[in-house]
Structure 1
Amino acid sequence: MVKFGIIGLGRIAHKFAHDIALVDGCTLQAVGSRSKEKAKEFASRYKAVNYYDSYEQVATDPEVDVIYIATPHTLHYENTMMCLDAGKAVICEKPFAMNANEVAHMIHTAKEKSLFLMEALWTRFVPATLKVKQLIDSKAIGKITSISSSFGFVAAHDPDSRLNRHDLGGGSLLDIGIYPIFISLLLLGDPIETHAIGKLNASKVDQRCSILMKFENDAIAALTSDFTTKLPNETIIYGSNGKIKMHEPFHHTRMLSLEINEQPSQVLELPLIGNGYAHEIEEVVYCLQNNKIESDLMTHQLSRDLIRNLDQVRSLIGLEYDVNK
């Protein structure tokens, strides 16, 4: 039985904890918050065995096998290192850390200690993404010529919101822009050329970001994230023989449209288990039960590539954070 711990008990942690109960071979052992009352309530709701008023106590709980980190972006590196140093396997929410150097140190430490470490980017594990990868690998739509992907919504202007706080790694790029970039890297590999423009607000975090990437096979990806406008939250992959549409919300879609050689579009229904986090939980359970320190789906190299590209886009739009370089 794989016993999970969770630190950081916000909205995503609630969804993740709910889905743990839907996956065989695992249970929720411990949860941690800076508020004991919040931890107690969370534990009661999701039947966790233990609850603590510090993250450190989850990391040192001898019954915990793996810890899911759902704290704000700027704490990911610190919290991951704390858990690894305590001898725990870790899955950490996206972005894995704030820059490539932090990610490299996390991966190095996990390998040195022979501990499982994975970026908890749930999009990689949902059935629709697996199907898209299969279709692309089988050349169902021929050679990819371009990808169009956007994710935008009107965010609250509250300066205290996590999305707007510079000290918490706010901004559209790291929060939602990561998804269009991830899909492009997954399907096309590393870009050979990247251009980006963005608009920063008074808090010095990006409110919107537009990215253009060119890849070795001459494919182009046009990617957008936006906190000021409701955009189609969808991805369209164009190929020499057709196209695939990942319907809204594409990062955990339940529906694909496949069009080949201008034939009528086929609609593929791909349901999610629970909130959609069950699929990455299944991967974690499988990896730990098979003594793996790295997922074959969300590899360390894919996380390295993702953060390196995020760093490059940040540099292009002048987005900087006060973290270790």
Structure 2
Amino acid sequence: MTKVVGRDKVNWGIMGTGWIASQFARDLEHAGNAVKAAVGSRTAESAEKFAAEYGFARAYGSYDEMLQDPEVDIIYVATPHPLHKENVLACLEAGKAVLCEKPFTMNARQLEQLVEKARERKLFLMEGMWTRFLPPITQARAWIAEGRIGEVRLVKADFGFRVGWEPEGRLLNPDLGGGALLDAGVYPISFASMIFGEQPQHVWSTANIGQTGVDEQFSVLLSYSEGRSASLNGAIRLNLSNEAVIYGTEGYIRLPLFLAGKEAYLHVNGQDEPEKFTDDRTCIGYAFEAEEAGRCILEGRTESRTIQLDESLEIMKLMDTIRGQWGLRYKSEINR
């Protein structure tokens, strides 16, 4: 267990210096319980540049050096998908708490090993599903809990964008875990899991496998108990509406740009105008998951109640099932 007794802040380390690492580092300014302690990269030059730009106290030219820093409490793993398992495992073996960028791992088998290790070592571990903590989504969950839209029957959620044609780039390269499902589709799939609070009974899906061998777009239909369902879409070569709608027997909730939007609309049957929620945050939104991870550690908890490890594992199993329907496997996950 990471020792933070008597403290009100946690010391963060970041593993990796790419785009997502920079987004998270920038947002740590807005996390009230976070201290920018260290950054680790594969080269000293990259780490030093990152630390200077984002205000981290120490820079390390290797991940192992950062893991040996006794002042680092928790590490945000921001490396490419295929490296998540070995990187998170190294952090846990070094006694560090971990927030891992999505997707947690390449498959459920890998994640099972990480969950087992975290529980064995009594260390905090959480999937970096930052959307769970955004104020509009938190508000939507509150409206549902209050019964404002009655019984939820249907969820529709899309996330897709058109990336440029770069076959060797991360999104289109199978060796880097590219494809729409792992990169974009995990968001609507996790969203449906959050809303229904259970995993589907039946799964139907289709995908367009592109020239490089990764899924460029997909559609999934999920059926749950009592006739409830979810219709989900993802893409990396197609711009989608990127909207989520939750339909209930007494109304519906609409989340424009649900990944990063600042608004939520409650439409109640019989009311002419929707109730609008507006989030006035100045951060991107990663600060909220960082604060949650910090709270858990400061309170001595090893999991977040908002996204527990068992749920993350079920979501990964579902994505394994979906990819299995397409016959899509990655070299990096074979025998791992």
TM value normalised by structure 1: 0.97
Give the structure 1 partner of residue 176 of structure 2. 168
Compute the displacement of 1:262 (Å): 3.7
Question: What SS does the aligned partner of 2:32 have?
Answer: coil
Q: Is the 8 A contact 1:32 1:58 kept in 2?
A: yes
Q: Is the 8 A contact 2:137 2:264 kept in 1?
A: no
Structure 2: distance between partners of 1:253 and 1:26:
24
Deviations 1:19-66 (A, max 9, x none): 212222321111011132121111001121111121111112111110
Give the structure 2 partner of residue 3 of structure 1. 11
Q: Does 1:102 align with 2:110?
A: yes
Give the structure 2 partner of residue 41 of structure 1. 49
Give the structure 2 partner of residue 120 of structure 1. 128
Structure 2: distance between partners of 1:221 and 1:235:
11
Give the structure 2 partner of residue 151 of structure 1. 159
Deviations 1:213-258 (A, max 9, x none): 001021111110012221101001111111100111x122210111
Give the structure 1 partner of residue 79 of structure 2. 71
The AA in structure 1 aligned to 2:219 is S
Structure 1: distance between partners of 2:173 and 2:317:
22
Q: Does 1:252 align with 2:252?
A: no
Compute the displacement of 1:159 (Å): 0.9
Q: Is the 8 A contact 1:199 1:317 kept in 2?
A: no
Question: What SS does the aligned partner of 2:305 have?
Answer: coil
Give the structure 1 partner of residue 3 of structure 2. none
Q: Is the 8 A contact 1:256 1:269 kept in 2?
A: yes
Aligned-pair Cα RMSD in Å: 1.2
Which of these residues, 192, 206, 228, is aligned with residue 219 of structure 1? 228
Q: Is the 8 A contact 2:73 2:97 kept in 1?
A: yes
Question: What SS does the aligned partner of 1:6 have?
Answer: strand
Q: Is the 8 A contact 1:126 1:272 kept in 2?
A: no
Identity percentage of aligned residues: 37
Q: Is the 8 A contact 2:184 2:236 kept in 1?
A: no
Which stretches in structure 1 are left out of the alignment for 5+ residues?
none
Which stretches in structure 2 are left out of the alignment for 5+ residues?
1-8
Q: Does 1:270 align with 2:279?
A: yes
Give the structure 1 partner of residue 92 of structure 2. 84
Deviations 1:304-323 (A, max 9, x none): 11111111111112221121
Q: Is the 8 A contact 1:127 1:271 kept in 2?
A: no
Instruction: Report how many aligned residue pairs link the two structures.
Output: 324
Give the structure 1 partner of residue 325 of structure 2. 316
TM value normalised by structure 2: 0.94
Structure 2: distance between partners of 1:284 and 1:207:
32
Which of these residues, 164, 185, 205, is aligned with residue 193 of structure 2? 185
